[in-house]
Amino acid sequence: MLLDVGTLPAVLWAQRLSPLDHRPELLLTELDPEHAQDHWRRIREIHPAYSAAWVQLGLDQERRGDLQAAEATLRAAVQRDRMFAPQWALANFYFRQGRAEQFWKHARLAAGVYEGSLTGVLALCLRLEQDPLALLRRLEPRTAAARGELMQLLLRERRYRDASRVAELVAEGKVRENGESLLAACDLALAAGETAAALGFWNAAAGHGLVAGRRLDPARGELLADGGFESLESGRCFDWRAGRQDGVQWRAGSPGGLRVEFSGRQAAVLSVARVWIPVEKGGRYQVSWRYSTEFEEGAAPLAWSLDGGSTLVEWKRQARGTESQMEFDAGGRDLVEMTLVSRPGLGWTRPEGRLQLEWVRVRRREKGLEKGVIGLRASVIP
């Protein structure tokens, strides 16, 4: 008689042939669930050191309400096997019983011997300890990857500020993938309006060389990550973002800053470059820039736009090494988007020619706000 391998009759036959082998019994716990407890008991008899069988017994005892026996059985499993699974099973038992100190002891032991993903462990730990740094001190995970997993968990819960507190620890690994995860977290925080958290992610990456830009601190006047257009490498977060499209070519880097060639066949409305500027609420700021342009008369002028508004500061069509300035009031905002745009109007043509933007600087004005300045209205400085 031929039996199909893996079927219940085949495994029962293997059990009879090898009565001292616990592996058929393991298969039978799934293939014969009605008698699963008998198979687990048989496994403990055949292979007393097999911790999974003791964990299973402990869980069954807990389900039946025999908590004292369940604890003793799970502790016996840990004595037989000090690796992750028994330690984590015992930690879960203490969590369900509200015994926090015992939970942390065995959660720490479990994290200390495991090199895989600790996402499930961290998720449970967050239910007892909301402070992410305190959690890491309590848990003492063996791998640095756990820091990134904790940051991702907090991001999924939209706890951006707590996630940014872990960012510095994530960046310490100086791994390329960590840089990407920090930039992604920064973009998420910006989209959610969490400027302080976004700065935390960016500064962690910048401080450890994972992005080309510099650290930012609005309180100290450090407002642009790349005022000299050294690189458009990331195009993320607080870096410059170029509006790449057909009919326009970009180059960036020293010397020369940002250089853009317009074919005249680009889109009518074009965002040439834009950048997020972290500011302090109520502050008044001055923007300075040096540029050169070569466009024909009748070409739509380039202009700065703040937060997509209609207030524009126009540039000259023909300029060589020209420096200009404007000021704006941050109002109640802690983040301003500044965009260099081309918006042809009635009677204007699309720009054809070239632009060189050597540098941009932003600083806070020391004097108080001028009367009549409302919101983000910009003004040109003569």
One domain, residues 249 and 144 = no
pLDDT, mean of residues 216-225: 96
Share of the chain above pLDDT 90, in %: 56
pLDDT, mean of residues 10-14: 48
Q: What is the structure's pLDDT at 1? A: 36
One domain, residues 325 and 278 = yes
| Choice between 252 and 30, residue whose per-residue pLDDT is larger | 252
> Which of these ranges, 32-41, 69-78, 121-130, 224-233, has the smallest mean pLDDT?
32-41
Q: Which tokens belong to 113?
A: 């011997």
Distance CA 110, CA 103 (A): 10
One domain, residues 157 and 245 = no
Q: Is residue 264 part of a domain?
A: yes
Sole residue written with tokens 């616990």:
22
Confidence band (pLDDT; 50, 70, 90) for 19? low
* CB burial of residue 305 (10 Å; 0-12, 13-18, 19+): buried
296 lies in which domain range? 241-380
- Interval 259-284: pLDDT, tens: 999 998 888 888 889 999 999 999 99
Residue where a domain stops, chosen among 163, 191, 211: 211
46 Cβ contact list (under 8 Å, min separation 6): 20, 21, 22, 25
pLDDT, mean of residues 357-371: 77
One domain, residues 205 and 245 = no
Q: Is the pLDDT confidence value at 3 over 80?
A: no
Q: Is the pLDDT confidence value at 31 over 60?
A: no
Q: Is the pLDDT confidence value at 41 over 90?
A: no
Q: How many CA atoms lie within 13 A of 369 on its CB side?
A: 17
What is the phi/psi pair of residue 20, to 5°? -100, 10
Closest by CA to 153, choosing from 175, 132, 128, 172, is 132
One domain, residues 179 and 276 = no
Residue 269 carries which DSSP code? S
Q: Is residue 187 part of a domain?
A: yes
Confidence band (pLDDT; 50, 70, 90) for 32? low
What is the phi/psi pair of residue 44, to 5°? -65, -30
Q: Is residue 105 part of a domain?
A: no
Q: Which tokens belong to 363?
A: 């600083």
| Choice between 30 and 38, residue whose per-residue pLDDT is larger | 38
pLDDT, mean of residues 9-29: 52
What is the phi/psi pair of residue 131, to 5°? -80, 115
What is the phi/psi pair of residue 127, to 5°? -75, -15
- Interval 67-77: pLDDT, tens: 999 999 999 99
Q: What is the structure's pLDDT at 177? A: 87
One domain, residues 203 and 260 = no
Q: What is the structure's pLDDT at 378? A: 45
Q: What is the structure's pLDDT at 53? A: 79
Confidence band (pLDDT; 50, 70, 90) for 382? very low
Q: Is residue 57 part of a domain?
A: no
Q: Which tokens belong to 85?
A: 């699974």
> Which of these ranges, 35-49, 105-119, 158-172, 343-357, has the smallest mean pLDDT?
35-49
Confidence band (pLDDT; 50, 70, 90) for 17? low
Give how many domains the chain has, as a whole number.
2
Strands (E), the chain: 241-242, 248-251, 258-263, 270-278, 284-295, 302-306, 312-314, 318-329, 335-342, 352-364, 378-380
Distance CA 181, CA 177 (A): 6
Q: What is the structure's pLDDT at 34? A: 63
Residue where a domain stops, chosen among 159, 192, 211: 211
One domain, residues 161 and 290 = no
Q: Is the pLDDT confidence value at 89 over 60?
A: yes
Q: Is residue 167 part of a domain?
A: yes
Q: Is residue 274 part of a domain?
A: yes
Averaged pLDDT score across all residues of the chain: 84
One domain, residues 185 and 304 = no
Distance CA 377, CA 307 (A): 10
Q: What is the structure's pLDDT at 39? A: 59
Q: What is the structure's pLDDT at 6? A: 52
pLDDT, mean of residues 233-258: 83
One domain, residues 207 and 253 = no
| Choice between 31 and 177, residue whose per-residue pLDDT is larger | 177
339 Cβ contact list (under 8 Å, min separation 6): 271, 272, 273, 274, 304, 305, 306, 308
pLDDT, mean of residues 137-152: 94
One domain, residues 297 and 358 = yes
One domain, residues 262 and 372 = yes
Q: What is the structure's pLDDT at 308? A: 82
Q: Is residue 89 part of a domain?
A: no
Closest by CA to 189, choosing from 223, 212, 166, 169, is 166
What is the phi/psi pair of residue 39, to 5°? -70, -40
One domain, residues 132 and 245 = no
pLDDT, mean of residues 353-376: 71
Q: Which tokens belong to 205?
A: 């990456």
Instruction: Report the CATH number that the domain containing residue 294 is assigned in CATH.
Output: 2.60.120.260
Q: Is residue 141 part of a domain?
A: yes
The pTM score is 0.82
